[in-house]
Amino acid sequence: MRIAAACRTVRVLPIVLGVLFGWMNAVSAADKSTISPEDRAFFENRIRPVLVKHCYECHSADAEEVGGKLLLDTRDGLRSGGESGPAVVAGKPDESRIIQAMRYDGIEMPPEQPLPEAVVNDFVKWVQRGAPDPRVPVARPDAKTVEGAKAAADKEDDKPPLWSLQPRTQPAIPNVKNLDWSLDPLDRFVLARLESENLAPTHDADPRTLIRRLYADLLGLPPTMDDVEEFVSEYGRDRVKAVQTVVDDLLARPQFGERWGRHWLDVARYGESNGNDGLGRNPTFPHAWRYRDYVIDAFNNDVPYDRFLTEQIAGDLLPSDSPAEHDRYLIATGFLAMASKPAKAMNTNFDMDVVADQIEVVGTGLMGISVACARCHDHKFDPIPTRDYYALAGIFTSTETMWGLAANEKLTASPTDLHVLKAAPKVLPPADFVETVLVLESNTGVPKAIPKPKWPVGTPLAIGVRDKAKPADCKINVKGDAKKLGEVVPRGFVTACKTESTNALTIDPKQSGRLQLAEWLTQPDHPLTARVMVNRIWLHLFGQGIVRTPDDFGVYGERPSHPELLDHLANRFVEDDWSIKHLIRSIVLSRTYQLSSDASEKVLKADGENLLVARHNRRRLDAESLRDSMLAVSGRLNLEPADGSIIRHRDILVNLAGNLHQSSNHRSVYLCYLRSSLPPELAAFDVPDFTTVTGQRDVSTIPGQALHLFNNLFVIEQAEHFAQSMMEDSTNDSDRVRLAFRRALNREPNQNELDQAIELLQSTTSELKSDKKAWSSLCQALLTTNEFRYVD
């Protein structure tokens, strides 16, 4: 039973977890106050799990047939009882039918075998206490048991509200005992919560740790030794000023957009090929890289988040001042054209599959609510009816999605038009370029002729969307089948998610409605948009979100650990003109962010998962940061943005192409992110497959990662370059070792480390008769250490 499990976990944090059995579990504020914590705990630990496990199968609204018309899944159902009278008479166990049944007295329940005596005793005790029941007071209207289908249709209104759909509150800055501690109002929320648990935040991170953390978080790169020394000395003079200065510097560097743009590309399921279409075909998206560059620029220019979303959803409909700006808006709509599409062959639902992806990326990516289930049926847990799905679908069926030629393989997807850019330069393929990867006839295996594209060679193109000539509302696809059509649903938004101006937003029947969708999503009072983004930003700075399921703010997602802090930050985000840089700046300047990742045993014990943020979280460098850091230390990093993509002239099936990847010294964000064929330099470290929204990457520890560090060609090459520059720089082995430590780890080696390093050099040199190899081995070792790969 999940509830039991969750409750036992939550010794310190009674309100954080819980709530897993659908809407029935959400408890209104009023109910919370009428039941004591002990009664609540007793019910959740002893009573509810038994009801769920042994009774709900027949006595709940979800039962196939409700036994004896008795519902035990709501408080009212239990009190009013079924055919044989009330199940519970508060205070009187002997008169309560449920107790009689459990004792096999007259009725025998559960029918298979009686419950253990201890369980029955729990129920007796519970009834004696007055059967306190924290569940919602309203029985769920259900066509099966309650007369009137209308009641069932209205059930939305009876559901206790999902927290994330409630309007944001304006939480007051909490009072705290330790008034001197906070550097930013957000600190007070964290501190108040810690104080209420009788805990104190750990000590501050030392400046050497902090500077590495700031570089990793804001740039995804390590600082140089000079950066560290300068910061440490400034920090000693004026801590606040020193941190501000370095943060402002980092936020202004172009590497910031590369780092944070990459986070967004995960959300946007950015990929440079379609991914396996289910028939083993994987056509490239030769122009997708333009969207990557658009995102990086947007983060660097701090495009307000509401504007950023509007451009991606409806850029083609926005007025522009220049051809370059118009290009930029068209490219932004690539966000909606990245679908990993299932094959078109024999798939009558293909068009709706594309729409499903668009709804999913808008729902999960921007709102943290999965709307996808409603394609076939009303969402089982979240308040998303099928009608909402098709209201949104109408917007996207009125939109033409342009992914391009799909390698001219009609069985995977029909070729589409593309945006033709006006200001972007024409780039021709190299003079000697001949496409060698040819699509084969599926019957004969003979290569097909490559059709001549309609655009002159080198025309700058972009994937994206535009309105169809004749926009129209969409009909419900019964059970998600495009051939079984139901009623027409007017285009619209998610009804459960209300903003003040929702009703005022009308969709012009001559347009798709994307512009209004963007307008609706970016209403200042939209309950989800700001919360979801603020949580994503927090997650990337702390390693876990305030809501630890960043892509699921629904009933099955987790509840925020600090709901008021989340609203506080979301309010600030919106008030500060949706500025991402501003929010990041505020967070990293806070005391909370600057805490050490070490903590006392007391804190570790009380809050093992660090939900209370009494310390910072130690984090492993992600795949991109690890590669970039290696390049930085080896001296080979090319900080210039890469120009385009290695596949920009190649409209081919990747599944036939083998490995297209080429080595490069540009930052990892510019590698070629082919779905199902990821860059081998990144693949070992939990890079997702980019077919769906990824708000948070996995962090696994497997021997395959060790093998990557030992044997991957990229790592070996960086070690060699690193070694080369050490050998050029100094003549004395001890000095060189010191230099290598400073370069890789930003510190001096201690005597033991120095001795061991020298020993490694000497023994390897004598074995392999090569200084160079010995130095490469030591340099590779430094790049492999946990100290290099983890950020405190």
Told to check if 110 binds another protein by CB under 8 A, we report no
Residue 476 has phi, psi (to 5 degrees) of: -60, 135
Residue 521 makes CB contacts below 8 A (sequence gap 6+) with 309, 313, 362, 366, 367, 529
Q: Are 76 and 146 in contact (CB under 8 A)?
A: no
Kindly list the distances between the CA atom of residue 758 and the CA atoms of 481, 726, 731, 752, 786, in Å, as whole numbers in the listed order.
69, 14, 14, 10, 20
Question: In this complex, which beta carbon is closest to another protein, that of residue 218 or of residue 660?
Answer: 660
Told to check if 60 binds another protein by CB under 8 A, we report no
- Three-state SS at 679: coil
Total residues in contact with another protein, by rule CB under 8 A:
70
Question: In this complex, which beta carbon is closest to another protein, that of residue 229 or of residue 753?
Answer: 753
Q: Are 405 and 336 in contact (CB under 8 A)?
A: no
- Three-state SS at 595: strand
| Shortest CB 189 distance to another protein, Å | 23
**CA angle 752–755–756, rounded 5-degree value:** 85
x/- contact string, 639-678, with another protein (CB under 8 A)? ----------------x--------------------x--
- Rounded CA separation 416/428 (Å): 21
- Rounded CA separation 779/278 (Å): 43
| Shortest CB 620 distance to another protein, Å | 8
Question: In this complex, which beta carbon is closest to another protein, that of residue 530 or of residue 757?
Answer: 757
Site stretch for another protein (CB under 8 A), options 158-166, 501-509, 567-575, 753-761: 753-761
Q: Are 487 and 476 in contact (CB under 8 A)?
A: yes
Told to check if 780 binds another protein by CB under 8 A, we report yes
- Rounded CA separation 130/34 (Å): 13
Site stretch for another protein (CB under 8 A), options 89-97, 193-201, 489-497, 769-777: 769-777
Told to check if 236 binds another protein by CB under 8 A, we report no
- HEC secondary structure over 408-451: HCCCCCCCCCCEECCCCCCCCCCCCCCCCCCCECCCCCCECCCC
| Shortest CB 607 distance to another protein, Å | 9
- Rounded CA separation 299/306 (Å): 13
Question: In this complex, which beta carbon is closest to another protein, that of residue 512 or of residue 696?
Answer: 696
Q: Exactly one of 362, 439, 671, 757 binds another protein (CB under 8 A); which one?
A: 757
Question: In this complex, which beta carbon is closest to another protein, that of residue 306 or of residue 717?
Answer: 717
Question: In this complex, which beta carbon is closest to another protein, that of residue 430 or of residue 703?
Answer: 703
Site stretch for another protein (CB under 8 A), options 275-283, 309-317, 430-438, 724-732: 275-283
State the DSSP string of 471-484.
---EEEEGGG-TTS
Structure tokens at 236: 């000693």
Question: In this complex, which beta carbon is closest to another protein, that of residue 376 or of residue 420?
Answer: 376
- Rounded CA separation 416/340 (Å): 15
Told to check if 505 binds another protein by CB under 8 A, we report no
Question: In this complex, which beta carbon is closest to another protein, that of residue 552 or of residue 564?
Answer: 552
For residue 619, the surrounding DSSP H or E stretch is strand 619-620
Q: Exactly one of 124, 666, 680, 747 binds another protein (CB under 8 A); which one?
A: 680
Told to check if 37 binds another protein by CB under 8 A, we report no
Q: Which of 690, 696, 693 is nearest to 546 (CA)?
A: 696
Told to check if 778 binds another protein by CB under 8 A, we report yes
Q: Exactly one of 80, 753, 754, 771 binds another protein (CB under 8 A); which one?
A: 753
Question: In this complex, which beta carbon is closest to another protein, that of residue 9 or of residue 224?
Answer: 9
Instruction: Enumerate residues 397-436 that contact another protein by CB under 8 A.
Output: none
Question: In this complex, which beta carbon is closest to another protein, that of residue 512 or of residue 691?
Answer: 691
- Rounded CA separation 68/398 (Å): 49
| Shortest CB 582 distance to another protein, Å | 33
For residue 715, the surrounding DSSP H or E stretch is helix 713-729
Instruction: Enumerate residues 334-363 that contact another protein by CB under 8 A.
Output: 346
Told to check if 763 binds another protein by CB under 8 A, we report yes
Residue 319 has phi, psi (to 5 degrees) of: -70, 150
| Shortest CB 618 distance to another protein, Å | 6
Q: Are 778 and 737 in contact (CB under 8 A)?
A: yes
Site stretch for another protein (CB under 8 A), options 191-199, 639-647, 663-671, 764-772: 764-772
Strands 474-477, 485-489: pairing is antiparallel
x/- contact string, 682-711, with another protein (CB under 8 A)? -xx-x--x--------x-xxxxxxxxxxxx
Question: In this complex, which beta carbon is closest to another protein, that of residue 170 or of residue 711?
Answer: 711
| Shortest CB 584 distance to another protein, Å | 26
Whether residue 323 is preceded by a cis peptide bond, meaning omega within 30 degrees of 0, is no
Question: In this complex, which beta carbon is closest to another protein, that of residue 250 or of residue 684?
Answer: 684
| Shortest CB 323 distance to another protein, Å | 39
| Shortest CB 513 distance to another protein, Å | 30
Q: Which of 236, 261, 242 is nearest to 580 (CA)?
A: 261
| Shortest CB 103 distance to another protein, Å | 22
Q: Exactly one of 38, 435, 609, 729 binds another protein (CB under 8 A); which one?
A: 609
Q: Are 504 and 379 in contact (CB under 8 A)?
A: no
Site stretch for another protein (CB under 8 A), options 327-335, 403-411, 634-642, 751-759: 751-759
Q: Which of 198, 164, 184, 134 is nearest to 560 (CA)?
A: 164
Q: Exactly one of 8, 150, 484, 510 binds another protein (CB under 8 A); which one?
A: 8
- Rounded CA separation 689/46 (Å): 42
* C-alpha of 699 from chain center: 13
Strands 485-489, 619-620: pairing is unpaired
Question: In this complex, which beta carbon is closest to another protein, that of residue 85 or of residue 278?
Answer: 278
Count of Cβ atoms closer than 10 Å to residue 184 Cβ: 18
Instruction: Enumerate residues 9-28 that contact another protein by CB under 8 A.
Output: 9, 11-12, 20
Told to check if 784 binds another protein by CB under 8 A, we report yes
| Shortest CB 426 distance to another protein, Å | 36
Query: DSSP code of 322?
Result: S
- Rounded CA separation 598/88 (Å): 51
Told to check if 200 binds another protein by CB under 8 A, we report no
Strands in 227-338 per DSSP E: none
| Shortest CB 516 distance to another protein, Å | 32
Told to check if 445 binds another protein by CB under 8 A, we report no
Strands 619-620, 461-462: pairing is unpaired
Site stretch for another protein (CB under 8 A), options 115-123, 255-263, 277-285, 449-457: 277-285
401, HSE (Cβ side, Cα atoms, 13 Å): 28
Told to check if 116 binds another protein by CB under 8 A, we report no
Sign of CA dihedral 238, 239, 242, 245: negative
- Rounded CA separation 214/223 (Å): 9
Question: In this complex, which beta carbon is closest to another protein, that of residue 450 or of residue 683?
Answer: 683
Residue 693 has phi, psi (to 5 degrees) of: -60, 130
Question: In this complex, which beta carbon is closest to another protein, that of residue 454 or of residue 484?
Answer: 484
Q: Exactly one of 280, 323, 458, 509 binds another protein (CB under 8 A); which one?
A: 280
Binding region for another protein (CB under 8 A):
1-2, 4-5, 8-9, 11-12, 20, 49, 53, 275-276, 278-280, 346, 556, 597-599, 601, 604, 608-609, 618, 620, 655, 676, 680, 683-684, 686, 689, 698, 700-713, 716, 753, 756-757, 760, 763-764, 767-768, 773, 776-778, 780-781, 784-787, 790, 792
